[in-house]
Chain A
Amino acid sequence: MEDLFSIFVRAIFIDNMVFAYFLGMCSYLAVSRTVTTSVGLGAAVIFVLGFTVPVNYLLENFILSRGALSWLGPQFAAVDLSFLTFIMFIAIIAAMVQLVEMLIEKLSPTLYSSLGIFLPLIAVNCAILGGSLFMQERNYANITEAISFGLGSGAGFFLAIVGIAAIREKIRYSNVPAPLRGLGITYIITGLMGIAFMSFMGIEL
């Protein structure tokens, strides 16, 4: 149990998707104009990451990696399908995003209309595929660890996008040099936020 909690906290603060690995940068910059839309996108990312990371974990461990097919019989023990990883992961992600979209449309039409175009765009958000690939690199022991890693990474993204949106709403009233306005200043603020997040580095959990 402690293990799961420390993986969760690590994924939020120390290995933050946005500040430590720059994943999901495109939607992070494009959708962070107001706090309300960024809360919606952040919640959707938590949801999708919490689903896709464990599903891809099962896929990786029971189908793709070397020797994973041995549950079919001893003659499959030497099969190594790991070169299919990218295609399978992205297919799962695209399918899951489609599924989540259909579920939300059915269960909560108001949330669906407020998320709008962002929902399908999550499929090409690099944070989602990045989460699965990091999960593969770090060899988590079982599926609950993979779930807590997925939820933690999503929460880290949520925190980052809501934070930058709040700062951007405030900075509209500041006197920023004209060529730096908009994109440029957003990069620099993100850099400064990243430096702040680096203070978590080196903490052992």
Chain B
Amino acid sequence: MSEKNTAPKETLFSPKNRKLLTEPIGKENPITVQVLGICSVLAITVQLEASLVMAISVVAVMGSANVIISLLRHGIPPRIRIIVQLTVIASLVVLVDQILKAFLYDVSRQLSVFVGLIITNCIIMGRLEAFALSNKVWPSFLDGIGNAAGYGSILLLLAAIRELLGSGTLMGYQVIPNFIYQIGYEDNGLMILPPMALITVGIIIWVHRHRDRSLVDVS
């Protein structure tokens, strides 16, 4: 390729493309700002390991779903686009589910129905509708990876807080030393229970919006 041809074309990591990747992790975070894909965040964050597997699965499904839909975007009739999107996502999720069952059986038991529920995770559907249907392949790929990473970062943060305070471990290894327990420290059993996930997300949102005043809900 000559110099003349490449000059007007955007490079792979131009500032605009980099923004697609990094915005969803902070300012446009799918969980705390766009309110997409909440269900699984709350249910599986008791332990860090399961959350890590879930985050990787979502990154994989979302990156490839965005690429596929973006490739097909001129061929999909608008009336049946929801069914087409669901079929693409469902096939990818079946692949992930079978891989997990084959190589990480324990984690897959622990995640139970939530692997299947990646299909109806609104974050995937929402980004396909809002971005991949009207953009080129490479930006769509970056958008998918970026949003999934934003989702995953909240997932991991929440899981780390809950596992550390709830059972005193991280990834299954004990982190809080024994002598602290002997002084009289006890694990907070409430952190493991489902309602605390909601309250912890509420607090994360509070901190996030306090640091970035432009996100405050004025209504």
Contacts and interface: CB of A to CB of B under 8 A. Distances in A.
Contact of B205 (A25, A120, A129, A187): A187
Contacts of A190: 195, 198
A136 B200 CA distance: 31
Given A23-B117, A29-B38, A86 B97 contact: yes
Given A133-B113, A183-B35, A21 B43 contact: yes
A133 B209 CA distance: 36
Nearest to B32: A183
A94 interface: yes
B193 interface: yes
A131 to B, nearest CB: 10
Contact of B90 (A21, A87, A130): A87
Given A86-B116, A86-B119, A128-B120, A181 B216 contact: yes
A141 interface: no
Interface stretch (B16-24, B66-74, B80-88, B136-144): B80-88
B39 A25 contact: yes
A192 B205 contact: no
B91 A194 contact: no
B36 interface: yes
Given A86-B119, A194-B198, A198-B193, A182 B219 contact: yes
B91 A22 contact: no
Contacts of A193: 195
B141 to A, nearest CB: 22
Interface in B111-166: 112-113, 116-117, 119-122, 125
B39 A19 contact: no
Contact of A191 (B37, B86, B196): B196
A124 to B, nearest CB: 5
Interface string B181-219: 000000000000111111101110110011001001111
Contacts of A125: 120
A26 B98 contact: no
Task: Assign chain B's interface to a size class.
Answer: 35 or more
Q: Indicate the member of A22, A94, A134 with the most B CB atoms within 10 Å.
A: A22
A178 interface: yes
Contacts of B58: none
A83 B91 CA distance: 10
A123 interface: yes
B206 A22 contact: no
A22 B216 CA distance: 25
A162 to B, nearest CB: 18
Name the residue among B39, B83, B97, B194 with the largest chain A CB count within 10 angstroms.
B39
B202 A188 contact: yes
B65 interface: no
B39 A191 contact: no
A91 B218 CA distance: 40
B56 interface: no
Given A83-B98, A130-B117, A137-B112, A22 B43 contact: yes
B42 interface: yes
Given A23-B117, A83-B98, 6 more contacts: A22-B39, A26-B39, A91-B86, A126-B120, A179-B210, A184-B202
30 contacts: A19-B195, A22-B38, A22-B42, A22-B194, A23-B117, A25-B39, A26-B35, A26-B37, A29-B35, A87-B87, A87-B90, A87-B94, A123-B82, A124-B82, A126-B39, A126-B122, A129-B120, A130-B39, A133-B116, A182-B217, A182-B219, A183-B205, A184-B202, A184-B209, A187-B198, A187-B202, A187-B205, A188-B198, A191-B198, A191-B199
Interface of A: 19-26, 29-30, 83-87, 90-91, 94, 120, 123-126, 128-130, 133-134, 137, 177-188, 190-195, 198
